Amino acid sequence: MKFATIGTSMITERFIEAAAESGKLTLKAVYSRDLEKATRFANQYDVKLVFNQLEQLATCEEIEVVYIASPNSIHYEQAIFLMEHGKHIICEKPMFTSMKEWENAFETARKNNVFLFEAMRTIHAPNFSVLKNNLGRVGQIRSVNLQYMKYSSRYDQYLEGEVPNIFSAKYAGGALVDLGIYPLYMAISLFGEPDSSIYVPVMLDSGVDGGGTLVLQYVDFVCTIVCSKITDSYGSNEIHGEKGNIIFPGSGTVEKIEFIDRETKVCEPFSIEQTNNDMVYEIETFTDIIKTGDEERYVELANLSGIVLNIMEHTRKQCGIIFGPDKQ
What per-residue string of b and e applies to 250-259 under the rule 16 or more CB within 10 Å gives b? bbbbbbebeb
Asked if residue 253 and residue 154 are part of one domain, the reply reads yes
Residue pLDDT, tens place only, 126-138: 999 999 999 999 9
Q: What angle do CA 227, 229, 233 make, to 5 degrees?
A: 60
Q: How far apart are CA 2 and CA 4, in angstroms?
A: 7
Rounded-to-integer distance, Cα 222 and Cα 116, Å: 32
* pTM for the structure as a whole: 0.96
Average pLDDT over residues 139-146: 98
Three-class SS state of 209: strand
Question: Is residue 328 very low, low, confident or very high in pLDDT (cuts 50, 70, 90)?
Answer: confident
How many Cα atoms within 13 Å fall on the side-chain side of residue 107?
A: 6
Within-domain flag for 201: yes
Residue 50 maps to a domain: yes
What pLDDT does residue 135 have? 98
What does DSSP assign to residue 230? S
Q: Which residues pair with 248 in a beta bridge?
A: 237
CA 328 to CA 326: how far, in whole Å?
6
Report the pLDDT value the prediction gives residue 253, as an integer from 0 to 100.
87
3-state secondary structure of 228: strand
108 with 184, same domain: the answer is no
Same-domain check for residues 98 and 142: no
Nearest-5° Cα angle at 193, 198 to 149: 55
219 and 253: one domain?
Answer: yes
How far is the C-alpha of 224 from the C-alpha of 271, rounded, in Å? 23
Q: Provide the phi-psi class of 53: left if phi over 0, else alpha when psi is between -120 and 50, else beta.
A: beta
- Whether 305 is in a domain gets the answer no
Task: Indicate whether 61 belongs to any domain.
Answer: yes
* pLDDT, position 250: 85
Q: Do 51 and 96 belong to one domain?
A: yes
Domain around 187: 123-279+311-327
Tell me the backbone φ, ψ of residue 28, rounded to 5 degrees: -125, -15
Count of CB atoms situated within 10 Å of the CB of 39: 14
We report the CATH number of the domain holding residue 190 as 3.30.360.10
pLDDT at 251: 83
pLDDT tens by residue, 285-311: 999 999 999 999 999 999 999 999 999
* Domain count along the chain: 2
Task: Tell me the pLDDT band of 166, cut-offs 50, 70 and 90.
Answer: very high
Please report, for the domain that includes residue 66, its CATH number. 3.40.50.720
Q: Are residues 322 and 189 in the same domain?
A: yes
> What does the pLDDT look like over 180-211, one tens digit per residue?
999 999 999 999 999 999 999 999 999 999 99
